[in-house]
């Protein structure tokens, strides 16, 4: 008997011998048998699936040589053109093979991203399209990156609610229906002024005061609920502010810690929109992406929780500026505080307790403040020198 999934809730009801069309969710022999049954058993339906495949561009080829294979088929990073997604896709492609990882977003990709591996348009608010992508490409892992961040979220609450909450519901349902392993990033922003702030443990009061934070607490709780209720393989890390050299932040409270490096190398001056003493947890992007892959690859029995804090360092704008000064002696920082961002930062953790991640699946960061500053200035320094030479 062939049964196709409807929105979540069907999986527990399927009796023995039922076969679903979610072939990407099955493995090994069961996968081969199921595909045979779906195609044979469904008759012309199977032919329609084949025909649809032929009509679509082949966005996902399986198994490239020299790379490890994902169980089943491929991974998808959606919301992938932001600060973190392109770097994540690069890391996953190195590990699993270029064509086994699909990047998607609603924006047009720049040339170098478009030519670096499969890219498709996908709106997180279009549930049917998400399902089609998962089914047609036999997706087994999804990294759900689309979101409006803290500052832009406060500027457009209805859109943040739609993308961060309705979008989340869509991806949770598709993932549960098709038995996917689902990564959703949370954030230091999932805590609020009544949480312990120095340090902030994994389990404590979470009463954030931004739509971003509220949507992330909702994501943590819904993911954990789907894990208990439907067996969804949900994995979540609460990231600190992420600092990257070759990608721009998308409108968050921690963006100053990326912009300072551009400005220090271009003009030797930087105007900071947070107070000099505002302490926040931060992490270099390489550590963030490695943590993401490590928690996704961790055996389930090592995970005593499904949502973990991860941390690397914690600093204030003043401390960061002192470190920059060691490399750029003429550097000057001034302060012009943005009250919206300052209020958000004042409600967030100052230090993050990530001892559970370190104990359970061996999390360890590589970059502390001095290495971060050297790496960022080297990148921007060489960038500026190339621009000047040109
Ligand atoms: N960057 C950080 O410092 C940081 C820290 C903590 C958590 N996170 C989380 O990591 C994830 C990625 O963050 P980022 O910094 O890359 O974000 P970003 O704002 O840079 O990128 C988000 C992407 O989502 C896309 N998007 C928006 N609406 C969409 C829709 N309807 N459908 C599909 N895509 C849509 C945007 O086009 C954009 O490319 C987010 O969930 C964020 O909350 C980021
Ligand atoms: C911290 C994080 O979630 C994001 N960079 C923000 O500031 O909104």
Rounded to two decimals, the ipTM of the complex is 0.99
- Closest ligand 2 atom to Cα of 253: 7
Which domain covers residue 50, as residue numbers? Answer: 1-55
Is 379 within 8 Å of 246 (Cβ atoms)?
A: yes
- Whether residue 199 is preceded by a cis peptide bond, meaning omega within 30 degrees of 0, is yes
Is 195 within 8 Å of 205 (Cβ atoms)?
A: yes
323 falls within a domain: no
Per the structure, how many domains does the chain have? 1
Least distant ligand from the CA of 249: 1
Please state at what angle helix 285-297 crosses helix 85-96, rounded to 10 degrees.
Answer: 50
Task: Provide the CA 226 distance to its chain's centre, in angstroms.
Answer: 19
2 falls within a domain: yes
87 falls within a domain: no
Ligand 2 is surrounded, with C-beta below 6 A, by: 149-150, 187-189, 212, 241, 252-254
247 falls within a domain: no
The preferred substitution site among 84, 182, 220 for testing ligand 1, maximizing ligand atoms within 8 Å of CB, is 84
Alpha helices in the chain (DSSP H): 28-42, 44-55, 85-96, 111-114, 127-136, 150-155, 157-161, 167-177, 211-230, 256-266, 285-297, 317-325, 339-346, 355-361, 369-389
348 falls within a domain: no
Least distant ligand from the CA of 285: 1
Beta carbons within 10 angstroms of residue 325's beta carbon: 15
355 falls within a domain: no
47 falls within a domain: yes
The preferred substitution site among 188, 284, 342, 350 for testing ligand 2, maximizing ligand atoms within 8 Å of CB, is 188
27 falls within a domain: yes
pLDDT in tens, the chain (390 residues): 233 444 544 343 332 222 222 222 222 223 332 222 222 223 333 333 333 332 232 223 222 334 566 656 689 998 999 999 999 999 999 999 999 999 999 999 999 999 999 999 999 999 999 999 999 999 999 999 999 999 999 999 999 999 999 999 999 999 999 999 999 999 999 999 999 999 999 999 999 999 999 999 999 999 999 999 999 999 999 999 999 999 999 999 999 999 999 999 999 999 999 999 999 999 999 999 999 999 999 999 999 999 999 999 999 999 999 999 999 999 999 999 999 999 999 999 999 999 999 999 999 999 999 999 999 999 998 666 555 555
Q: Whose CA is nearest to atom 2 of ligand 2?
A: 241
């Amino acid at each position: 008997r062939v049964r196709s999934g409807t929105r979540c809730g069907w999986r527990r009801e399927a009796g023995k011998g039922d076969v679903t069309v979610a072939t990407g969710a099955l493995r090994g022999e069961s996968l081969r048998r199921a595909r045979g049954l779906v195609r044979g058993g469904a008759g012309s339906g199977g032919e329609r699936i084949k025909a649809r495949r032929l009509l679509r561009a082949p966005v996902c080829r399986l198994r490239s040589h020299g790379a490890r294979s994902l169980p089943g088929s491929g991974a998808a990073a959606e919301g992938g053109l932001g600060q973190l997604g392109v770097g994540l896709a690069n890391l996953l492609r190195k590990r699993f093979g270029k064509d086994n990882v699909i990047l998607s977003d609603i924006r047009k990709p720049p040339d170098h991203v478009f030519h670096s591996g499969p890219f498709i348009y996908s709106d997180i608010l279009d549930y049917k399209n998400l399902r089609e992508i998962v089914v047609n490409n036999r997706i087994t892992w999804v990294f759900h990156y689309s979101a409006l961040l803290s500052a832009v979220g406060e500027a457009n609450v209805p859109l943040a609610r739609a993308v961060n909450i309705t979008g989340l519901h869509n991806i949770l349902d598709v993932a549960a229906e098709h038995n996917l392993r689902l990564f959703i990033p949370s954030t230091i922003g999932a805590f609020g002024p009544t949480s312990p702030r120095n340090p902030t443990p994994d389990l404590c009061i979470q009463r954030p005061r931004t739509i971003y934070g509220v949507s992330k607490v909702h994501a943590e709780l819904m993911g954990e609920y789907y894990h208990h209720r439907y067996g969804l393989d949900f994995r979540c890390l609460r990231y600190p502010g992420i600092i990257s050299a070759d990608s721009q932040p998308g409108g968050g409270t921690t963006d100053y810690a990326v912009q300072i490096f551009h400005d220090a190398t271009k003009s030797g001056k930087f105007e900071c929109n947070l107070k000099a003493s505002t302490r926040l947890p931060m992490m270099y992007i390489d550590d963030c992406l490695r943590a993401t892959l490590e928690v996704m690859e961790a055996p389930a029995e090592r995970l005593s929780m499904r949502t973990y804090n991860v941390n690397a360092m914690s600093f204030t704008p003043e401390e960061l500026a002192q470190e920059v000064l060691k490399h750029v002696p003429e550097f000057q920082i001034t302060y012009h505080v943005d009250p919206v961002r300052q209020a958000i930062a004042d409600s967030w953790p100052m230090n993050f307790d990530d001892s559970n991640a370190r104990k359970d699946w061996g999390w360890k960061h590589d970059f502390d403040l001095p290495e971060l500053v050297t790496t960022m200035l080297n990148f921007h320094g060489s960038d500026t020198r190339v621009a000047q030479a040109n």
